Structure formats: C-alpha cells, structure tokens
Structure 1
C-alpha cells in the first residue's frame, strides 16, 4: 500500500541530509512533509525501500486527500509495529494520513517520541484550520478588498514618484547653464548632472522595488494559503535589515577612521591651496616659486595629497577586503592604465609649458602655423584665440615638439618688434627710401615713438636692394592691423614723393616713372578718412594703442 503512494504528485521541501553510521555508511537525507508551505513533520528514517523523501511525498498526498467540509476533525496517534519498524499512525477522523517511525525522532535535540507525535498533531490541526478558513467567503472578500486597496495605493505611489522625478529632471536640465564646475580645462557640470540623474533614477527604482516587496508581502498575508510565503518574505527582509545594522555597527570604528583621514586631508589640502593661491596673487614672494607656476604646483600637490589619503584610508573602507571589492579595484586600475597611456603625454606637456614659462595666459604667441592670444593653459590642451576670432585647441603633447614664438614676453618693456620688407630699384636714392619708410612708420597709429623706427638694407640683389623696416608696437596681437595701415602709409608716401614701388625684374627701363598721382589717391570706391590719413603727429609723442 505504501508503494502505491509513490505515484502521487506533490512538491515537498527537502532538508540537508545527515551522514552517519559505520564503515562509511551514508544515511539518506531527511525530508519534511510540507503542505501549503507549512511544515508538518520531518522524516529521517527509511522504510524498507522507501527513503525519507519518498515517505514525505506519500504523506503529503494523503494529507491533501483529507475530505473538506467536515464539521470536526478528530486527530489521534495510534502506535503501530510492522516487522522491525516501530512507530505510529496519525489518523484524521479514523483515516490514516501520516505514518511516523521512532527513528524519525531528532535524537540530537533530546526529543522523545511522544513529543515528536504531539508536535506533528499540533501542526496538522493548525493546517486543517487554515484550510477551512481559506474556503470562507467573508475572509476571501476581506483579503481581496485589502489587496485591491494596497494595489491602488502602490500604483498611486509609483505615479507620484514618476511625477516628482520628471520635475526633478526638468529643474536639473536648467542647472548646467548657470554654473560651471571646472577641473583643469574640463567642465565637470554635465558629467555630474548625468551622474545625479542616474543616481536619482537608481534610487527611484530601489524605492519602487522596496514598496513592491512590501506590497507583495501584504497581499500574500491576506490569504491563509499564501501566509507562509508572506512570513518567508518578512523573515528575509528582517534578516537582511539585521545584517545591515550589524554590519554598520561593526564598521563604525573603520568609518570613524576614514572620516578622520578625510578631515585631516581636507585641512592639509586647504592650507596648501591657500599658500599657493597667495603665491599666485603675489602675496607670497619666493625665489623658488613664481606666480606663473604656483597654480600648477597647487593642483599637483593637492591631487597627490588626496591620493595619499586614499591609500591610507583604503584598508579601513568597509568591504575593501572582499573579493568583489578587489575585483572592482583591479578593473578600475586596468581601465586607468589603458586610458592614461595618451593622457600622460598631454599632462607632461602641460607641466613642461607651465614650468618652463614658455608663455602664459594673455601672451600673443605663434605655435607652428597657428598664431594668436593664449586664452587657457589646461591640463591636457592649450587654447589660442586667433585674430580671425577662431579658437584653436592644441594638445599639450604637440607643444613639446613644436617651435613656439612668444611675441609678448619681451614686449612688456620696450614693445614687440615688427618688420616689413620693401624692394625698390637702384635708381631710387637709398637715403630717400630710408626717410620715407621711417616717415610712414611715424604716421601709423600703434607704432611706438621709442624705440624709433629704423631701416636696414638686408641685401643688394641683382635687380634691387631689399629694405627692412623695423618698429615697435605695444600690443603684439594688433600687429596685422598695424602692418595693414603701415603698408597703406608706405604707398601714399612713395606716391607723394614720386618714387615708384616696383621690383625691377625687367629688360627695359620704362620711359617715365610708374606713379599714382596724389589726386587719384581717393578715387572711387576709396573714401577720405577723418582725420585724413597722412596727418603727422607731433614729434616725440607716441600714438601707440
């Protein structure tokens, strides 16, 4: 009869087996008789060819087959003996539903067979009462109503959270245009905004799942059939909370150490930063520290201080000794190593530019074929604004290999020297050419009176001498504008004194000078200037701008 029960189907919960006996004998694992998620009794001993698991499956099928709707359930235990097996039958209204053996008793807990049977009967009575409760309409209607109400509240909570999230993201979308957070030449505000959005979304998902967990536990708890599952969910939540609290309490000393390291590091970094900021502004004078290099030195030292603090605090960070934390650390280290291969060259290039003081912000420089005013010297690149209002970004690694001309470095005292070249035929007296070039420089706005413009004869070529006019200006970034006006003045003065501007690579001399008469200087579409170009300035006064 017992073998026939093996064909009955019902899921049962198994527990870990116990190894025992002599000569390496392994006892079959114990099994629990479980119905509706409720444990009735644990079977530990085999019966003939039936293992404890087989017995548990057959017993669970018998329990589920107990007729429903009885006015009363009489449960009793009758001792029985079959061959070498001694035990008892637990009957419900005279029907055998559960067979237990004396060997099923937990000897390690000093439990008697009578206690074992009494516990099984009590749990069986409890389950039968729950099964009857599950069929009562008032309980079903109440559980359904409470479940629907809980579902509505949960849905309203999710909708409210989604609405708050949209408002948060809309407000956050306007923030980056208001304030910038700079790290070197990188604006961190967009990245921090993205991180904040991701954090808010992750937090909302976590809160939503947490409320969903509580909602599911509440709904399961409204029906006797699913109450064991609700109890399991509550137990898991309580267990995790206890572990969290215990972990926080145990980590308090280490967290205190990390906080102390952080505060001390912040104090030291603040003192160092304040000192170098004073050096930047000129408040601190030092032979080894220049204002131009103080900013870069401050950044380097502050970063090194924080890195050193992180190394000190690492062993005290909760979870730093776990394999997961170590794996993440190795992954981050690998990513930094691979990503910093090209970045190191850029950073070193920036440091070389700063510490060699090749140029500084505001200088007018020429780097390779690019020329303009230095707007920013960053950690990874340098930005130059050209006279055409173009912003050029030059990687700092390129600066190490390029030739850099600084027009502003020596122009702060005597001005920047600018040159222009003119080739005039040998038939023009060179003294007259010198005088006219100097006069053109004197009439040009932006040219300094001191040092006085002068002319050099660079070479005596086959067809003409090469004249080089040298003059000084205060603002190197204006040299193209000054040269443009100077070239116009040269043309006017040479026409005024009847000297033609021509490089005579010719076979025959023209019959008459090739000139532009003064009355044609302002021919259409040229317009007469006010004051007219060519007005002399008073001797000894500079019209430099």
Structure 2
C-alpha cells in the first residue's frame, strides 16, 4: 500500500508539473500575441476600415453601384453613382486629384461651397466632389455629409503630406527596424517555449505506462506544433502589415493585396439550399471539424487512461468503450456543428450519394477496413492486450483503430495491419477467452537411456521454473522411437503467452544442464556407410596410358631423363 501511494503521488506530481508547464506555455503565447496585437493595432485597423467601409452604411449597402475613395491605401468613404458618372468613375477621378495634391509641396486647402443648391467640395479651388442625397449615409443630409467629408479629407491630406517628409521617413525606418527586431525576438521566444513544452511532453511519455497517455501527448505535440506555426506566422504577418502601413507607397500595395484577398476569400463559392458559403466559411468549418476530431480523441484518451483504468476494467473492454465513445462524440458533434453552422442536414443527401458512389468505386478498401474495425470492436475476437499470430507476424495487440490495428511484436516493432485481414484470414489468438496456454518442448535421448529417468528429470525441471504453472501439472509424453533416439515431449502451462519464446529458451537451458548432470546422453544422427568389394576392369586404351605414365615417374618421384632424351 505505501508503494502504491508513493507511485500515485509521483505520478500526480509529474502530471501536475506537466499541466503547469502546458498552462504556462499557453498563457505566455496568449500574452505575447496580445501584446503584439496591441502594439500593431494600426495594421489591424487598416483591414477593419476596408471592410467597415462596406458594412457601416445601410443605405449604401442597398445600392449596387458603389466605390471607395482611397488615399495612400487608406479607405476614406464610399460614394454612389450620379446621373452622369458611375461610382467607379467618380472614385477614380477623386483618387487621381488626391494623389496629385499630396505629391506637391504646396499647402492643401479643402473647402465646402454650395452650387445649384448642392454641396460641393473643392480641393485647392478645384471641383472635387458634389455630394448628392445618394451619397449621404442613413440619418445624414447631403450638407451634413459634405461637411463631415470635408474635415475628413483635410485631415487625411495633411497626414499624407506629413508622411512624405524626410524626417517622418527616417523615423518610420527606425520604427520598422525595431518592429522587425521585436518580431524576431518573439519568434525566438516562441521556439524556446516550444522546446520546453516538448521536453515536458517527453518526460510525460517516459513516466507514463498507459497507451492513452502517449496518445494524449502525441496529440498535444501536434497541437503545439500547429499553434507554434500559426503564432509565428501571425507575428510576421502583423509585423509586415504594420511596417507597410507606415509608408504611403507600401500602404497602397498592402491595400490592393488585402482587397484582392478579402474579395477572393469572402466571395460565395458554394451554395447549399438558400445558404451561400465562401472560402473563409469552408476553412472555418474544416478547422472546427479538425478541432472536434482532435478534442474527441483527447477526451477519449483521458477517459481511457484516467477513468477506465482506475475502475479496474480490462484492457480489451477499455479499448472497445474508448472507440465507441470517440466515434459517438465525433458523430454527435459533427451534426450539432453543421446545424449550428446553418447547414441543413437534409441537404447532405446529395453529398452522401456522391460519397456512396466514391465508396463503391475507389474507397472499397477503406470502407471494408472500417467495417471490419467495427466488427472487431463489437464482436471482440481480438482485444487490446491479446497475443496473436497473423500470418508471419506475432505480437501483442496495442490498439484497434478505425482502419488498422497496431501490433507490437516481441522486438517492440509496431506493425499496422488492416482490420479486414483479421476477418479474412486465420488468426491465432493465444489470449482469447482464456490466457492459459500449453507449450510443447521436444527432447530426444539415446536408446540406452531409462525412460523413467528422463520423465523424472524433465518433470523436476518444469516444476522448478517459476513461470510454469503448478496446476495443471506438467507432463512428459513418450512420443516415439526415432532413427537414432528416443523422442519425448515436455508439456507445460503458462499464463503469459507473450513470454512463451523466453520460457522455451529458459527451459531448454535447464533441460540441457539437468540431462548432463544425470549423465543422460543427447544423441546426434548417425549413418553407417557400407562399401561392397568386387572386380572391375579398365579399357585397354586407359590401361596403356596409365602404364606409360607410371614408367615416366619412377618411385623416387623424378622423371626418367633417359626416356625423355630418347623421346
């Protein structure tokens, strides 16, 4: 009991320390991003102004033909079409005059006059804009709207001239260098925090003996890497937007690129029923779906490792409950998410039909493995923790997934096997319904050995091994007479089939030592070779050749010189 309390307290401290580090990491990232957003709020305001200019005027939103007056990439206000010109033509003429005015070094003066009972805005005594009732926002008259725009134009033009001065450019250059240095510092700090969190996750893996804990850690690492990438990207994007927002020329480019991106991502690309969805809507929906899947996996792993394991449930039922819980959460969450998103579930029938056709043609293996996974979970012919043999693979079932089953071999190598293979081919499950297994160990001895002595020796070896069960009793079978040995089999029972190869090896070591001590001979195969004698003859040609060769080489081994000379 004290050992359990010590282990539990150690695990609790590790989990608390890991949780504290994760909490500190998340808080640090949130504070860093909040500080950066607060510092770089003008860059965000640029994006907000471009979209707000299109949504804050209810009257203008009802007019199809509208255009925005822009100065140095900063949207000022929207105007409507007149009787003579369209909104785009009016805005283009106004933008040209504003650019010409700010590029000159002369003071800029914006005045408001009334001509033909209509308010007219003058720029350096030149006609700039005649404000009509169509241009006025809701709740304003044409005169009030003209007065408001006159002040806005005067402030914007004065600021534009100031931003073109050399002193301002030098000051903003220093600010740009400082912002880049700040972004680089935040980039490095985020990397340091990521490394610290990775170390804590590694310690969590090493201190955890539950597969669910490892799954939680792997999922957390994936989320952490994704969060790090998004945060770093956001830091540099906002820094670049802030720098480009400080200079008139780059602000124009930034506004044009931003306008193109906003129009591309907000334009409707998909219609389901009466609802229209843009690229942004689809990306948000996809992100929410991925978050739902990751959250369901994390919740399932926590339930499996923190609730089911403490409840004393076996590993197989734990895996089955976890899989059912995961897919239930994903299904219910997806339906609720689509309904809240405004998507009519009945409109998915077309998508379901297309998916059915895809399954029929190209996704047969995926559907087959998925269905096989459901059969394995509910029928439970194999469970997590079982020692099985599938073809040439032997190992312990670690996890039964949606499409594949993870098998951990005796060499601690993970093999991913399709679920359909467990239903289509023969599978040996050593742990199915009863983990007790009997092992057969063959032994051969010499013919001169007493069989009773062999039986006694092998029985003693089996009974003295701690991993061999006392009940059922070990047995020794006399299986037959071999060519050169008497053949026996030692039958022992074990409760852990995954250690059967280790048990066989240990018993073989002990059997060899016991037989040697009892002076029982272990024979090896012997074969007798009998050669029959008889008369055989040579051909005359071969006999004469052998006689000549023997005459050339006398008994001393030296060639006969006289014969060689005569030759």
TM-score by length of 1: 0.49
**Which structure has more helix as a fraction of its residues?**
2
Q: Select the structure of larger CA radius of gyration.
A: 1
* Higher relative contact order, chain-length normalized (CA < 8 Å, sep 6+): 2
